[in-house]
A and B are shown apart, each in its own frame.
Chain A
Amino acid sequence: MTALAALEGMDRLTSGEALVAQNVAFAIMAITMVVAALRMVTTRNVVHAALYLVVVLAGVAGQFLLLGAEFVGVTQVMVYIGAIVVLFLFGIMLTKGSFGEDDGVSSEKRLMAGLVGLLVFGVMAAALVDSFEDAEVAREAPSTTAEVSDSIFSTYIVPFEAVSVLLLAALIGAIVVARKD
């Protein structure tokens, strides 16, 4: 899918449409992300996998920035790279005696898993291309941070408040389950 989109980007580039620089940037990031994602699932080193994940997530943040969604882009960096991957790394270091090479993953179901993955990929790619092939991102009216905050505090105020209850409940529950007693 990403490769297709990249090709499409090249297509626009040659046909002289605007936003050439953006398309080039998109293609570079997309290719990097695909390579990093593949390496992430194929590497045998858990720490390396987490670091490849950083590359993928940074790529996502970059794509958001390209689309003019700076709030989501920055949030992506802060939450995913800044918090979640760091948590992964802490988790790996605190729980495993010897982190590093891990070849204990059973490979007998690898073929089946690969087939299912390919099938799902094919179906999703076909469906997405079918629907969004000609869709263009509006060049005007990128959603600004001010608009995001306005909608959080008007339309989405109930889920916003609910999230705070959710976080508190998760925190309390996690402490109870994790602590020694």
Chain B
Amino acid sequence: MAVDLLTLAFQRPHIDWHGIAPELVLLGVGALITLVDIVFLEKARPITAALAGLGLLATAVPLLTLAADGTDRVMFDGAYVVDEFSLVMKAIFLLSAYVVVLLSTNYVAEGDYWENEYYGLLLASVMGMVMMASARDLVSIFVALELLSIPAYLMVAWRKRDLRSNEAGLKYYLMGVFASAVMLYGMSLLYGVSGSTMLDDIGTAVAAAGSSVPVVTMAIVFIVAGFAFKVSAVPFHTWAPDVYEGAPTPVTAFLAVASKAAGFVALLVLVLVAFPSASDVWEPLVWILAAASMTVGNMVALRQTNVVRLMAYSGIAQTGFMIAPLAVAGHGGGSADQALSAVVTYLAIYAAMNLGAFAVIIVLARKTGSAETTSFAGAFHYAPGLTVAMTIFLFSLAGIPPLGGWFAKFEVFRVLATAGEPWGYVLAAVGAVNSVIALYYYAALARRMWADDAPDGDHAPVPMTPSLASALGICGIVTLAFGVAPQLVARFTDVTLAALGG
């Protein structure tokens, strides 16, 4: 035995340093912020936000060189893959996080919250997301999920002196670990069936096992349920409104966009790489999630009087749209590729318009100190530019041309309608009805801002800061550009997964 151990020489893994350069840069920036915090303590506060923002932009540089290089890189026996899909998703994560840093700059400094630590946790969470985009085995996916979730649980509770924030943090944490546990159990069953953690091998094993094996079905249901929590799809959405309302608003924006996108990344990769042959299990499941999320999200959003809660329910409804293409992604012939690019397109556009809407909410709440819809009344009289911006974002979320959201919805409907399945048409019809309902409450909020009068006749201008202005600018330009010239976004988001042989 001792001889065996000696002869069992350790194989040094081949590491493609270029391939993992984005993660390494991000790790370096995170370490730098932690170090600056330790050395300079409170004196570092003015620079950490800038450091975090610059670090996120610096991380995008290796992404560009990888994209220019253009070859799919497979590392660690297939556990870590850099392909088109992962590069585009990493870019979405980094840009969303950059906008979140811009939104946080004044919010965190003025609220007298722990600032250096905040950006450290934010970067850790982004690192989990960036990892998730490349992870192609169960261990990496699970660790990435926890790395992006645990800092988020803590950031939700960052307004320590506010009971609602404490409650939100605890609620998010408890629901989150419960969902993780269910998902982990599903993963362990998959490992039991296939004897491997690599998604490729699991795909082979699931295909070999046939579609009617109860354990495989159970594993898929558990895993999809776990990620349905992450993307806040009905019926796993109950945490979202309370958490969104209690969390610091920039963190809410982060959860609504980046964290949701990360959940989708994992869902897409698992469903399309590990379970392509079990589509008769997950297609109906996704169908129900999509239809229920759209309908319940919109119905409840109609009754909301708080803008952040409204955005939470609207986000649930948008999840329904985003997940819908997956309901018809399982019958070969390029249907998986089409669904993949439809979801990625939606995620990119949704990130811009939703972050934009949250930026306006943060700016306006700086003046009104409240996120009730009534306090947004008459914003046009003292902040015409902001009102126009909010109208653009709201109508984009509703899917009105020529704004970005139009193209996102169009892609979803195109995939549903061209699948040639009766259930696809039904889902498209459900989506169409829901688009109309959604327009009602988005337009109602916009009308209140344009037509009503300010609640107490207070027409003082809104205090604006450079970082908030640039966040608004980035989101506005992207939303408009993607709507006017959809081929722009289509060029980026027409992605393929390396494992799909694209």
> Does A155 contact B13, Cβ atoms closer than 8 Å?
yes
> Does A131 contact B157, Cβ atoms closer than 8 Å?
no
How far is it, in angstroms, between the C-alpha of A177 and the C-alpha of B166 when the chains are bound? Answer: 9
Contacts A132-B192, A157-B13; is A165 near B124 (CB within 8 Å)? Answer: yes
Q: Given the complex, which residues of A lie within 8 Å of B23, measured CB to CB?
A: 158
Contacts A150-B11, A158-B140; is A165 near B214 (CB within 8 Å)? Answer: no
CB-CB contacts below 8 Å: A114-158 with B: 123-124, 126-128, 130-132, 144, 146-147, 150, 153-158
Q: Given the complex, which residues of A lie within 8 Å of B30, measured CB to CB?
A: 165
How far is it, in angstroms, between the C-alpha of A152 and the C-alpha of B92 when the chains are bound? Answer: 30
Query: Which of A6-14, A16-24, A168-176 contacts the other chain?
Result: A168-176
CB distance from B35 to the nearest CB of A (A): 12
How far is it, in angstroms, between the C-alpha of A155 and the C-alpha of B12 when the chains are bound? Answer: 10
Q: Given the complex, which residues of A lie within 8 Å of B114, measured CB to CB?
A: 176
CB distance from A35 to the nearest CB of B (A): 23
Over the window 76-112 of chain B, the binary record of Cβ atoms lying under 8 Å from chain A Cβ atoms (1 yes, 0 no) is: 1101100000000000000000000000000000000
Q: Given the complex, which residues of A lie within 8 Å of B20, measured CB to CB?
A: 158
> Does A162 contact B144, Cβ atoms closer than 8 Å?
yes
> Does A153 contact B10, Cβ atoms closer than 8 Å?
yes
Q: Given the complex, which residues of A lie within 8 Å of B486, measured CB to CB?
A: none
Contacts A150-B11, A162-B143, A169-B150; is A156 near B124 (CB within 8 Å)? Answer: no
CB of A102 closer than 8 Å to a CB of B: no
How far is it, in angstroms, between the C-alpha of A130 and the C-alpha of B209 when the chains are bound? Answer: 12
Contacts A126-B214, A165-B30; is A155 near B79 (CB within 8 Å)? Answer: yes
Q: Given the complex, which residues of B lie within 8 Å of A161, measured CB to CB?
A: 27
Complex partner residue of A155 from B77, B128, B157, CB under 8 angstroms: B77
Complex partner residue of B34 from A155, A172, A176, CB under 8 angstroms: A172
How far is it, in angstroms, between the C-alpha of A170 and the C-alpha of B27 when the chains are bound? Answer: 15
State the interface size on chain A (CB cutoff 8 A): 33
Contact size range, B: 35 or more
CB of B451 closer than 8 Å to a CB of A: no
CB-CB contacts below 8 Å: B40-83 with A: 75-77, 79-80
CB of A166 closer than 8 Å to a CB of B: yes
CB distance from B168 to the nearest CB of A (A): 12
Complex partner residue of A177 from B127, B142, B157, CB under 8 angstroms: B157
Q: Given the complex, which residues of A lie within 8 Å of B150, measured CB to CB?
A: 166, 169-170, 173
CB-CB contacts below 8 Å: A26-47 with B: none
CB of A100 closer than 8 Å to a CB of B: no
Q: Which residue of A lies closest to B80 (CB)?
A: A158
Q: Which residue of A lies closest to B75 (CB)?
A: A158
> Does A163 contact B151, Cβ atoms closer than 8 Å?
no
Contacts A127-B218, A128-B215; is A146 near B5 (CB within 8 Å)? Answer: yes
Q: Which residue of B lies closest to A150 (CB)?
A: B10
Q: Given the complex, which residues of B lie within 8 Å of A131, measured CB to CB?
A: 192-193, 213-215
CB of A181 closer than 8 Å to a CB of B: yes
CB of A82 closer than 8 Å to a CB of B: no
How far is it, in angstroms, between the C-alpha of A130 and the C-alpha of B218 when the chains are bound? Answer: 12
Q: Given the complex, which residues of B lie within 8 Å of A124, measured CB to CB?
A: 218
Q: Which residue of B lies closest to A128 (CB)?
A: B215
Q: Given the complex, which residues of B lie within 8 Å of A126, measured CB to CB?
A: 214
CB-CB contacts below 8 Å: B330-360 with A: none
CB distance from A167 to the nearest CB of B (A): 9
25 contacts between A and B (CB under 8 A): A127-B214, A127-B215, A128-B215, A130-B215, A131-B214, A146-B5, A153-B10, A154-B13, A155-B76, A155-B77, A156-B79, A158-B79, A158-B135, A159-B139, A162-B127, A162-B140, A163-B147, A165-B147, A166-B147, A169-B147, A170-B151, A172-B120, A173-B121, A176-B158, A177-B160
Q: Which 8 A-B pairs have the closest CB atoms?
A: A173-B154, A127-B214, A169-B124, A159-B143, A131-B215, A154-B13, A166-B147, A176-B114
